[in-house]
Chain A
Amino acid sequence: MKPRKPKSQGLAYKRLPRRALLLGGLQAAFVGGLAARMRFMQVDQADEYRLLAEENRINIRLIPPDRGRIYDRNGQIIGQNSPSYRIVIVREDAGDVDQVIRKLSELIPLNEDEIERAMTEMRRSAPFLPVTLADQVTWEDISKVAVNAPALPGVTPEVGLTRQYPRYEDFAHIVGYVGPVSDYDLSQIEDPEPVLRIPRFQIGKVGLEARQEISLRGKAGAKRVEVNATGRVMRELDRQEGQPGADLQLSVDADLQQYAQARLAGESAAAVVIDCETGDLRAMASAPSFDPNLFVRGISVADYRTLTQDKYRPLANKTVQGTYPPGSTFKMVTALAALEAGVVGPGNTVYCPGHLKVGSRRFHCWKRGGHGMVDLNTSLKRSCDVYYYDVAIKVGIDRISEMANTLGLGIKHDIPMSAVRAGLAPNQEWKQRVHGEEWLIGDTANASIGQGFMLASPMQLAVMTARIATGRAVSPRLVRSVNGVEQPSGAGEPLTISPTNLRHIREAMWSVSNDRRGTAYRSRIIADDLRMAGKTGTSQVRNITKAERAAGVIRNEDLPWERRDHALFVSFAPYDKPKYAIAVVVEHGGGGSKAAAPVARDIMLQALYNGTPPLDAYPVGDRDRIKEQQKRLEGDRRPKARPDGKDRA
């Protein structure tokens, strides 16, 4: 073992102890500085705090801002803040919590579930934090608690504002709902504002409430209060008001929305009414719906299970979140793509024998015997499939997909709602990229009639119809104004489609609704200046086997609900000067002309007349039935009582 050559000869090594002591000295000085600062704050300035430390302290409390209200286009209230009384308990002050709760339950009715939740919350949070025992308590119950305060240690009534949705089910999908901030919410926000940490502070969870959270929330104010040793407020010293959230005005017409929602009741369906001139969404009904007020208070497990297990999926917003094969409502797109490309003219005919052989497969027309010679107008009017197989193969999928995008399909429209889907207008590149497979000619045939990969939401179909009706790139607008400031209109620029070709399509759509042989003739509008032009669609959700075809296709009524066809209808009116476009999808409703077109016609008339339409707008044969229906819906639309009878606050 050789002794290590000492390194201590180098200059740098000699410096080490010296510098170590120097750095140590600096550290000591800093520690001294910290100590001095601590002394200054806790001893010299202690006089300021000593006074407060005895019994009273000054406390800065945040004042939660008033959340912005939501109105419909005519100023009817959709989302408001109403005072709510609640009873809170502080574990530390209560002593024997069980006994206090037992005494309280003798005074006022308490909900088992809520007690359970309060107990869990109490176990988890600090003993000095107030925990809500009962929410939405009536004034009488509050007075009872206040009178008996000495017998109920730790129990205090509190008043606060809570979100309330006076239109119940009607706006659940559009506006969404608020709920108390959760730990998960906090973890999603970078540098959350202190106001979010107020217990039970409500933020938007879903829909418009969530997407417009920042403008609806506003800025918190603050007050300086004197509190006593238990944290109870003794008096307020001064306050600095916050800034309330912005009021939003929707483009939706609450009465029309209510009608649409009522008209769809009983089905799993969606209807969207769009204003052709401004892109305003006049109604966005999705049925069945749910009461958003349930979520504000915190929904019970049983209620939530009922909602999630319903096969009609009440929680899903079918207007933007549901995407369906557009079926024959897509035929306008195929036809426009073909006309624009010049591969067919409006007068050219195709012979329909009831089927067409594409590649090695035989593609059937919905009509077994075929339509014979069909031109553009007839093909759309009678919804001949073979015509579209033929022209789609001529024009090619890429140009059809491009036309779909131009008309607003397969692209995501930016509106402040949750889970807005882009749908799908596939092309060759898409299939290669996603499925890693070649695009087949049969895929084109399927796509031409809106089947196969093609998917669109009801809102997209409404936008498509509005664009065909106006020739402009109408885009949907949900929020009309924020704090009175008008938002940009969705009127859009003129499309690059030739007006002549659009006119041919519109004429064909007119025939669908007004020609005796049109598929939607039964659901026409009689009033001459309000004539409607539309297109029916029936989209398959199952494959029809060769054997079944040979034996005769099973009728929809004979199938279980989930295997029936979706019924679709799109239309615009009045024909001469389009004001509204509508799209209706009835899930598994059967044929579009039977299940969707009458609904669309009724909602359209309601929109056009801005209220209940006169009976002479309907075809003569229908009037008795319509009269019955109007009476029934009128009854449904009376202001609803709270379903659970809890309307106490």
Chain B
Amino acid sequence: MSYLEYAVKSTPSGFRKFLYMNWPLTLLLISTASAGFLMLYSVAGGSWTPWAEPQMERFGLGLTAMFIIALVPIWFWRNMSVLAYLGSVALLVFVELFGTIGMGAQRWIDLGFMRLQPSEVMKVALVMVLAAYYDWLPSHKTSRPLWVFIPVALIILPTLLVLKQPDLGTSILLLAAGGGLMFLAGVHWAYFAAVIAAVVGLIAAVFNSRGTDWQLLKDYQFRRIDTFLDPSTDPLGAGYHITQSKIALGSGGWNGRGFMQGTQSRLNFLPEKHTDFIFTTLAEEFGFVGGITLLILYALILVFCMVTALATKDRFSSLVTLGIALNFFLFFAVNMSMVMGMAPVVGVPLPMVSYGGSAMLVLMAAFGIVQSAHIHRPR
């Protein structure tokens, strides 16, 4: 099967492709990223360095990457899926062996000009390979055990590698995104019931492993779960971050304290205020209005991805778009839940806003694929 099967004639070509891009999505991405620049400027105390400026450069790079990827036909990306997946697995194995230790976990490959976090790349590669798989698989086989087992294996392998780093947050995101994609592909309900039962079992296993030789999580991860379940147990140690985050966020009120006026998040020892906890500053300085605006922008990004997914008749395009949207959703849902004290602190950045090169570039590349699907959709 090849792309010749598509009615190619109806897809735009050359620079006309720009006109057929999902422009609302592009504009939404630019707006959220700009909110990020503003916040990075603010947390640096009204300075473009050290965060806002590099972030803008990276966003420019990401935007360029998105355009380039968007111009390449979607069937090329489908054909690249398996390669992308294998490459990402190789990178994960590579960091396991040679990665740089950052903040106590082995996550990065130092490329010199930036640090590549293979688990970020994996999030997209996994979605791609699963979408390609379900595109290739004759639909009547979708729910047969063997054909269900293969994608499960594809999901489990990188999840375990990431868990080993150890990066609990990302491994949960990988599981959720992979599972979500299988759900979208139309796998029978019964399997999901089984998976949910297994997850419950795994959680039980993790808690039972505590204190034994085969302990599955690091002590600090257990402590974070403990403090999430009951922050009052350790308000100064591990619970401190959540308490501080909530105080800062709550003090924002309806309108916020004004740009650069958010003293709460500055005077306190709020960790990672430019990365994982940046939403706290935004919510403090722009209040409920600012927070809800960002949330609406995020929701609109999801909506426009959905538009692309439902407009195309190509199965790969639909699945990969929805998968990327799901990933995006998981990113901000987990991060916001975390800073609002609804989820344990797991170290997931706020997409497009948090400072960080790897995550931003990978996300923009992923949206490039969504754009490509939109441009090259069979009409």
Chain A residues packing against B (C-beta within 8 Å): 1-17, 19-20, 23-24, 27-28, 30-31, 34-35, 37-39, 41-43, 45-46, 48-50, 52-53, 57-60, 62, 92, 125-128, 187, 189-191, 193-194, 197-198, 220-222, 227, 229, 231, 240
Contacts and interface: CB of A to CB of B under 8 A. Distances in A.
B186 A16 contact: yes
Given A23-B184, A46-B253, A191-B220, 14 more contacts: A12-B134, A16-B184, A19-B184, A19-B186, A31-B298, A31-B299, A34-B336, A38-B336, A50-B253, A59-B267, A128-B45, A194-B240, A194-B269, A194-B271
Contact of B306 (A10, A14, A20): A20
B103 interface: yes
Contacts of A14: 186
A53 B310 contact: no
A303 B244 CA distance: 42
A10 B138 contact: yes
Given A4-B6, A60-B244, A126-B44, A20 B318 contact: yes
Contacts of A27: 302, 326, 329, 333
8 contacts: A16-B186, A19-B186, A42-B252, A46-B250, A58-B247, A126-B45, A194-B240, A194-B271
Given A23-B322, A191-B104, A57 B336 contact: no
A101 to B, nearest CB: 20
Among A38, A49, A57, A191: residue with most chain B CB under 10 A: A38
Specify the main secondary structure of chain A where it touches its partner.
helix
Interface stretch (B83-91, B113-121, B286-294): B286-294
B337 A34 contact: yes
B3 to A, nearest CB: 9
B236 A128 contact: no
Contacts of A4: 1, 5-7, 378
B6 A42 contact: no
Nearest to B249: A41
B150 to A, nearest CB: 15
Nearest to B321: A20
Interface string B204-235: 00000000000000101000000000000001
Nearest to A61: B268
B254 interface: yes
B100 to A, nearest CB: 11
A23 B299 contact: no
A147 to B, nearest CB: 27
Contact of B5 (A3, A20, A48, A59): A3
Contacts of B104: 189-191
A60 B268 contact: yes
Contacts of A193: 237
A51 B153 CA distance: 55
Interface SS of chain B: helix, strand, loop or mixed? helix
Contacts of B336: 34, 38
Interface of B: 1, 4-9, 44-46, 102-104, 134, 138-140, 142-143, 180, 183-187, 218, 220, 235-237, 240-241, 243-244, 246-247, 249-254, 257, 263-264, 266-269, 271, 283, 287-288, 291-292, 295, 298-299, 302, 306, 309-310, 313, 315, 318-319, 322, 326, 329, 333, 336-337, 340, 342, 378
B340 A38 contact: yes
A27 B271 CA distance: 29
B9, B250, B257, B263 pick with most chain A CB within 10 angstroms:
B250
B254 A7 contact: no
| 8 nearest A-B pairs in the assembled complex, by CB-CB distance | A10-B139, A190-B104, A12-B186, A4-B5, A126-B45, A15-B186, A12-B139, A42-B288
B250 A49 contact: yes
Contacts of A48: 250
A46 B254 contact: yes
A2 B342 CA distance: 53
A34 B335 CA distance: 11
A6 B185 CA distance: 16
B117 to A, nearest CB: 17
A24 B306 contact: yes
Nearest to B251: A49
Nearest to A125: B45
B154 to A, nearest CB: 17
Contacts of A221: 236
A260 B45 CA distance: 53
B195 to A, nearest CB: 15
A95 to B, nearest CB: 15
A41 B250 contact: yes
Nearest to B2: A4
A14 B186 CA distance: 8
Contact of B103 (A35, A37, A49, A190): A190
Nearest to A50: B253
A190 B271 contact: no
Nearest to A34: B336
Contacts of B218: 190
Contact of B236 (A16, A125, A194): A194
A534 B342 CA distance: 71
A536 B370 CA distance: 81
Nearest to B318: A16
A62 B269 contact: yes
Given A1-B4, A190-B103, A53 B253 contact: yes
A28 B244 CA distance: 28
B326 A23 contact: yes
Given A10-B140, A11-B186, A190-B104, A197 B269 contact: yes
A197 B206 CA distance: 31
A71 B378 CA distance: 81
B334 to A, nearest CB: 10
Nearest to A3: B7
Nearest to A228: B263
A57 B253 contact: no
A240 B236 CA distance: 10
Contacts of A59: 264, 267-268
A8 B333 contact: no
B4 A197 contact: no
A53 B141 CA distance: 60
A133 B44 CA distance: 22
Contacts of A34: 295, 333, 336-337, 340
Nearest to B220: A191
Given A3-B7, A13-B139, A24-B302, A57 B264 contact: yes
Nearest to A92: B45
Contacts of A43: 253-254, 288
B245 to A, nearest CB: 11
A53 to B, nearest CB: 6
A37 B306 contact: no
Given A1-B4, A50-B253, A38 B264 contact: no
Contacts of B322: 20, 23
Nearest to A5: B5
Nearest to B302: A27
A7 B139 contact: yes
Most chain A CB inside 10 Å of its own CB: which residue of B249, B253, B309: B253
A222 B249 CA distance: 21
A42 B266 CA distance: 18
Contacts of B138: 10
A99 B180 CA distance: 62
B333 A49 contact: no
A190 to B, nearest CB: 3
Contact of A52 (B9, B187, B251): B251
B180 A23 contact: yes
Contacts of A57: 251, 263-264
Contact of A20 (B143, B283, B310, B340): B310
A60 B46 contact: no
